[in-house]
Amino acid sequence: MAKRALLTGITGQDGAYLSQFLLSKGYEVTGIVRRSSHKGLEEHRLQWLEIDKQVKLLYGDVADLSSLLRIVQQIQPDEIYNLAAQSFVASSWDQPILTAEITGVGVMNMLEAMRIGAPQARFYQASSSEMYGKIREPMQSELTPFHPRSPYAVAKLYGHWITVNYRESFGLHASSGILFNHESPLRGIEFVTRKVTDGVARIKLGLAKELRLGNIDAKRDWGHARDYVRAMWLMLQQPTADDYVVATGRTTTIRDMCRIAFDHAGLEMDKYVVIDSAFFRPAEVDVLLGNPAKAKEKLGWSPQISLEEMIVEMVEADLARLKRSR
């Protein structure tokens, strides 16, 4: 029989790529989605990858334990991937309570539904490099202390530790992936990489004259989401659950990431980028650089797609989108 996977956040970037990956492995894939009056719009990433007809979607919400328990008992999944979150850092200052409920307590709800309804399943929690925040070490590993710098990061930290707690308290196979920044053409437009590649495409096509950004000297460790969902799956194939940093081990400024995008489009970045204080965070995370040694050693995982290749793919995808919409 085919393995059954249950995903929260299936219509997000990671959920779509993970679904595609699991389908290629012969899994039955079910996703939990919130009821929306905008039926169909939330599924555009699944449609982009042409897998929307191959996955099953059920209505539920990580804030509603009863819906999660009902679905877990119905599906009896072999693997559960908890990717749902209010995932935009900037919005977490505007909606801190919502962020805490969804990104933090929502993890416990999912774990509790699994503990009661399918304790034999294997669980993946999407933790985040944002938990490191005000970094204590130049390269962050699984043992680096956390110092979160946003309501989002604080909520992610709760989700991370409650996963560890359920693993240690109830013997659940529950792992966390501390994923550093990972992007793709499916990334939301509000995230800086996609904002840049979309902005470059608009300028190239004469649809915009400038690109307004915040702190472009912040450094991030960027990889491709397609690589990172493979690491999620590998964690759940291990005999024992554990936590893993998933990163490239290379950090790049937003400025240099921008330059890659503008150079690919044959544009001079300095002519178009405008620094706008409105886009600065109340508390900035200046540098993130992950140490993926454990994932490489224990999972046999390493990234296959470079930052340059990823940015070029994203620029080309945004050019194609904009040309179609015209």
List the catalytic residues.
128, 130, 152
Tokens 């140490």 correspond to 291
Structure tokens at 242: 């554990």
HEC states along the chain?
A: CCCEEEEECCCCHHHHHHHHHHHHCCCEEEEEECCCCCCCHHHHHHHHCCCCCCCEEEECCCCCHHHHHHHHHHHCCCEEEECCCCCCHHHHHHCHHHHHHHHHHHHHHHHHHHHHHCCCCEEEEEEEHHHCCCCCCCCECCCCCCCCCCHHHHHHHHHHHHHHHHHHHHCCEEEEEEECCEECCCCCCCCHHHHHHHHHHHHHCCCCCCEEECCCCCEECCEEHHHHHHHHHHHCCCCCCCEEEECCCCCEEHHHHHHHHHHHCCCCHHHCEEECHHHCCCCCCCECCECCHHHHHHHCCCCCCCHHHHHHHHHHHHHHHHHHHC
